Amino acid sequence: MREKQKKPSLIEAISINLKASKEISRVCPGLFSSLAAANALEAVNNYLFIFITARLLNELVGQCRVGKLIQWAVFGAIAALIVELIVRYFHRRSQLLEEVSGEAIERLYMEKLFSMDFADVDKHSTHDLLAQIRQNERSVGFGFGAVPGILSDIIYSLTSVLSGIGLTVSLFTSKVTADGPLRLLNSPFIILAAVLILMGISYLAGTLNKKAESNWTHGKELSAKSNRVRDTFVKLGRSVLGAADIRLYRQEKIALNHIRSEDAYGPGGAVDKLVLSNVGVLFGLSQGGQMLFTGGAYVLICLKALGGAFAIGSVTQYAGALALANFTVFNLFGAAGRLTANASYLKTANRFFEIPNLMVQGTIPTEKRNDREYDVEFRDVSFKYPGADTWALRQLNVRFKVGARYAVVGENGSGKTTFIKLLCRLYDPQEGQILLNGIDIKKYDYREYMDLFSVVFQDFQLFSQPLGANVAGSADYDAGRVKTALEEAGFGERLKELPQGLDTCLYRDFGDDGINISGGEAQKIAIARALYKNAPFLILDEPTAALDPIAEADIYAHLGGIVGDRTAIFISHRLSSCRFCDEILVFDAGRIVQRGSHEALVSDKNGRYSAFWQAQAQYYKEDR
Ligand code: ADP
């Protein structure tokens, strides 16, 4: 739905729509210039025909000079040909660009989603807002997607009105030459009164049209729910999953009843009622006003022609130009109505685009050190997820020794992954500070700080792209280093089997030549990607969860060598894999309740770690 706030003024609406058009131009260059050229020239073209016809008629009923007639005819034909060629060229181009503009607008949303703070991507409110914007675009037809159409209408109508005025100025200035009461039409006051009356009627008809358009927009909003209900059931009808239930329980009756009861367009539906009352009456009155204008204009033209103010050819010019201009004034008001309505929807869309990036405000570059002496410390850090009542982490104090290996253990939900997310600055803590070499990490350049971490999260993401590009995170990569990383992560043997090697595409989203990989293989590739990044911190969150026991043992056997001089943090539910770590942090309900080496923690018989260890002891015997 659109913003439930004061309706924007016309000036505000123009500014909001123009700002949106600038954004669309950025991802779809050439769209608005082509639309402007095509629409403006098309509007002029209509008047060109009226103008040339009037010149020919005037010559025919006047002096009837053959040379002049040929001159006007040739000029008319050449001018029409040139304008038509240009109009067609820009029309074709703008049609093409309009077709791709939907995808380009989608890219605007994607760019924003990719660049916004992780905490915002993770919020329900962000996704609700996005769903609302999509619903507005699809069901009501307003938002960014409506901007090209509305601006085209306005350019066309404005050019048309201005051209019409240009061709009718002489209607008001030309003098009646015959004697008699028609001479009164030479009085500037009478002409001014005629102009004002015509403008008044045109304005009134236009305003009624604008009101009708705006109420019609509201009507489309009323149909949004009906569209949603229909779409949901259509999708359900196509789905194989629900097909059995629908048959067994005759669920189609519920569906059809629901569709009927929500049908906004059917007889007696919300939209039908609106058309029968308010919208229908307003449209009718505005059309009536238009007819009144045309009638009034014809009376003036005929009277002046009778008084000898101009020849018969000019009568066709004025009548044609005024009728056309009046029609486009009418459209202009309609377009202005849609422009104002669209501004409300754009405000909703802008709420999404204006979600601030709070994370990127730091400016200090991180030190570029070969010795990897990056000292990170959590000082009294507490954190709650947005909208949550309970603390996910409470008063954490940890200082990572450079080059040491840490294990993070604890029950599900004890805060291990959250701890890592804060360390990489996907979230900022509400209390306490995280420091890098003594400086609050918020003060560092966000991207540079993130560059310090190679992380494999449990829900890591690989793309349907070549293997090499997946590991390097880029299409340009050092093939030797990518291979080494894959070998270190345990993917070496599988790589040898791939005929296209690093060029093998993962998954089959874009073609049949891709390969499907198992969860374990994907995890190895994700580990290789972390190794290729070669950041000073290597963090693996349940790195072997999807691996079979042999692959897991293999990874852990090599982990010491793989980690090298990096500071490493492993989250693992298998305590046996933590034994090689220098320090183990035991999490419980968001706090670190125990820390120390494996031996020290196991010997503390009352501690949590010892309890976990005992519980898993059976496991390890089997492992061994
Ligand atoms: P662990 O990694 O130890 O299983 P997490 O760090 O994932 O634990 O979760 C810690 C707590 O935070 C849990 O209570 C979990 O439900 C909650 N939590 C995790 N992710 C989110 C989230 N995105 N939004 C709200 N709460 C979350």
User: Which residues share a beta bridge with 431?
Assistant: 382
Q: How far is the CA of 1 from the centre of ligand 1 (A)?
A: 32
Q: CA separation (Å) from 304 to 147, 169, 195, 267, 298?
A: 43, 13, 14, 50, 10
Mean pLDDT of 151-162: 95
Whose CA is closest to atom 25 on ligand 1?
385
- Atom of ligand 1 at shortest distance to CA of 421? 6
Indicate the helix (H) or strand (E) that contains 531.
helix 519-533
Would you state the pLDDT for residue 135? 83
Whole-number percent of the chain with pLDDT over 90: 48
Q: What is the crossing angle of helices 280-306 and 147-173, to 10°?
A: 30
List the structure tokens of 376: 């990170």
Of 573, 565, 556, whose CA–CA distance to 538 is shortest? 565
pLDDT greater than 50 at residue 159: yes
C-alpha span between 508 and 419 (Å, rounded): 35
pLDDT, residue 243, reads 66
What are the tens digits of pLDDT across the range 95-152?
999 888 989 999 999 999 988 998 898 888 898 898 889 888 887 789 999 999 999 9
- How far, in Å, is the centroid of ligand 1 from the Cα of 384? 9
Percent of the chain with pLDDT over 70: 92
Using alpha carbons, select from 207, 333, 222 the residue that is nearest to residue 273. Answer: 222
Q: Which of 65-79, 284-298, 389-403, 539-553 has the lowest mean pLDDT?
A: 539-553
Q: How far is CA 174 from CA 153, 375, 420, in A?
A: 32, 88, 83
Q: Burial-class residue 416 by CB neighbours within 10 Å (0-12, 13-18, 19+).
A: buried
H helices of 388-461, in order, are 416-423, 446-450
- Could you state, in order of their start, the residue ranges of all structural domains in the chain? 10-223+264-352, 362-452+535-624, 460-534
Residue nearest to atom 22 of ligand 1 (CA): 385
Alpha-carbon Rg of the chain, whole angstroms? 36
pLDDT score of 434 more than 90: yes
CA neighbor of 165 nearest in space, from 335, 325, 330:
325
DSSP 8-class letter at 393: E
Query: pLDDT value at position 545?
Result: 67
Amino acid, single-letter form, for residue 252: E
Number of CB atoms found within 10 A of residue 232's CB: 13
Q: Which helix (H) or strand (E) holds 537?
A: strand 537-541
CA–centroid distance, 127 to ligand 1, in Å, is 19
Are residues 191 and 318 in contact, defined by beta-carbon separation less than 8 angstroms?
A: no
* Residue whose entry in the numeric block shows the structure tokens 């954004």: 23
Close Cβ partners of 438 (under 8 Å, ≥ 6 residues apart): 375
In tens, the pLDDT along 563-607 reads: 888 899 999 877 777 778 899 999 999 999 999 999 999 898 888
Compute CA distances 61 → 77, 231, 302, whole Å. Answer: 21, 63, 17
**Alpha-carbon distances of 454 from 122, 446, 500, 584, rounded to whole Å:** 21, 15, 27, 20
DSSP 3-state of 432: strand
Task: Report which protein residue has its CA nearest ligand 1's atom 10.
Answer: 415
Give 408 Cα–ligand 1 centroid separation in angstroms.
15
pLDDT over 80 at 333, yes or no = yes
Kindly give the distance from the C-alpha atom of residue 559 to the centroid of ligand 1, in angstroms, as a whole number. 27
pLDDT computed for residue 136 by the predictor: 85
Task: Give the distance (Å) from ligand 1 centre to CA of residue 293.
Answer: 68
CA distance 271 to 140: 12
Closest CA to 86 of 43, 129, 124: 43
Q: How many CB atoms lie within 10 A of CB 14?
A: 17
Q: Give the pair of three-digit tokens for residue 213.
A: 């358009």
Give the residue whose CA is nearest to atom 21 of ligand 1. 385
* pLDDT attached to residue 241: 59
pLDDT for 70 equals 95
Is the predicted pLDDT of residue 554 greater than 90, yes or no?
no
pLDDT category of residue 38 using cuts at 50, 70 and 90: very high
Instruction: Return the ligand 1 atom nearest residue 541 CA.
Output: 2
**Of 382, 389, 394, 418, best ligand 1 pocket probe by most atoms within 8 Å of the beta carbon:** 418
- Read off the tokens for 394: 């409470």
112 token code pair: 């924003």
**Across 74-81, average pLDDT:** 93
Q: Domain 362-452+535-624 belongs to what topology? A: Rossmann fold (3.40.50)
Element (H, E) at 584: strand 583-588
Q: What is the mean pLDDT of the chain?
A: 87
Phi, psi of 457 (to 5 degrees): -80, 165
- Residue 576 contacts residue 616 (beta carbons within 8 Å): yes
pLDDT in tens, 350-404: 999 999 988 888 788 887 766 677 889 999 999 999 888 999 999 999 999 888 9
* 606 φ/ψ angles, rounded to the nearest 5 degrees: -90, -5
Pick the atom of ligand 1 nearest to 590's CA: 10
Biggest CA-to-CA distance, the chain:
123
Task: Determine the straight-line distance between the first and last CA of the chain, rounded to whole angstroms.
Answer: 61
For residue 346 the two structure tokens come to 């754009």
pLDDT in tens, 10-34: 999 999 999 999 999 999 999 999 9
Residue 610 to residue 589: CA distance in whole angstroms: 17
Specify the CATH superfamily of domain 460-534.
P-loop containing nucleotide triphosphate hydrolases (3.40.50.300)
Question: Which pair of structure tokens corresponds to residue 267?
Answer: 């007889």
Higher pLDDT, 341 or 623: 341
Ligand 1 centroid to Cα of residue 385, in Å, is 8
Token readout for 398 is: 């940890």
Instruction: Tell me what the mean pLDDT of segment 528-534 comes to.
Output: 91
CA of 120 to the centre of ligand 1 (A): 16
Contact partners, residue 519, CB within 8 Å, separation at least 6: 546
Tens of pLDDT, residues 475-514: 888 999 999 999 988 899 998 998 888 988 888 777 677 7
The answer to whether residues 444 and 364 touch, using CB atoms and an 8 Å cutoff, is yes
Given the CA of residue 122, which atom of ligand 1 is nearest to it? Answer: 23
Q: 356 C-alpha to center of ligand 1: Å? A: 24
Tell me the best of 118, 120, 127, 385 to mutate to test the pocket of ligand 1, counting ligand atoms within 8 Å of each CB and taking the most: 385
Tokens 């016309």 appear where? 10
**What phi-psi label fits residue 155: left (phi over 0), alpha (psi between -120 and 50 degrees) or beta?**
alpha
Q: Is the pLDDT of residue 624 over 50?
A: no
The sign of the torsion formed by the CA atoms of 324, 330, 336, 339 equals: negative
Task: Give me the CATH topology for the region 10-223+264-352.
Answer: ABC transporter transmembrane region fold (1.20.1560)
Q: Residues lining ligand 1, CB < 6 A?
A: 122, 385, 388, 392, 410, 412-418
* Strand-pair category, 567-571 with 537-541: parallel
Q: How far is the CA of 541 from the centre of ligand 1 (A)?
A: 13
The token duo for 291 is 């007819």
Length of the chain: 624
Residue owning the nearest CA to atom 27 of ligand 1: 385
**DSSP letter for each residue of 286-304:** HHHHHHHHHHHHHHHHHHH
User: Please, which residues have CB within 8 angstroms of residue 139's CB and are 6 or more apart in sequence?
Assistant: 220, 223, 224, 227, 228
Average pLDDT, integer, range 413-428: 93
Q: Same CATH topology for 362-452+535-624 and 460-534?
A: yes
